[in-house]
Amino acid sequence: MYVIREKLFGFGQDSDITDEAGRPVLRVDGKALSLRERLVLRDMDGREVAEVRRKMVSMRPTYEIEIGGAEAARVRKRLFTPFVDRYTVDIPGPDDLELVGDLLEHDYTVRRGNAVVATVSKAYFTMRDTYAVDIAPGEDELLILTAVLALDLAEDRERRDRQ
């Protein structure tokens, strides 16, 4: 399980993604206030391992994920999904993922077809809101974590646009 502190990204600050023991495993360089809404993930030695950035030409919220300098996925919000949030994680080739969430509870399930590959729960028990991300064994942890970060950026943008 991993913990992502959600609120820090809206302010463009740096944060760590930690494992369940609280040890940092990735550093998130928050550039959310940049023109392109961009987050860079670095390993604990400071090497860039992934990037999440908003694609500006799309009508619906779309975020591109690069891992190791190559395009790994695009995260798009589905339109017209009453009562739930739905995002497609479009991976080159087969095996796309889908994030399905409860609008009020901010709990999400990550699915590949009918199989649950991860769960995302928003916890309110700390000074800052956090996402707990539980990933099934054998899944691409970096891809799922970056997809959750893209989801967080998209949700923050929607909240700002409604205000």
d(CA 67, CA 149): 13
Answer whether 0.75 is exceeded by the pTM. yes
Domains by residue range for the chain, with CATH = 2-162 (2.40.160.200)
> Which positions ≥6 away from 7 have C-beta within 8 Å?
128, 129
Query: Are 62 and 55 within 8 A, CB to CB?
Result: yes
Sign, Cα dihedral of 79, 80, 81, 83: positive
Name the 3-class secondary structure at 54.
Answer: strand
Report residue 84 as tokens.
């739930």
Determine the pLDDT at residue 123: 65
In tens, the pLDDT along 16-44 reads: 899 989 899 999 887 645 555 788 999 99
Query: Count H helices, E strands: the chain?
Result: 2, 12
Place of tokens 């190559």: 70
Report residue 118 as tokens.
């991860």
- Beta-sheet pairing, 24-31 with 130-135: unpaired
- pLDDT below 70 — which residues of the chain? 6-13, 31-36, 57-59, 80-82, 103-105, 123-129, 158-163
Determine the pLDDT at residue 11: 45
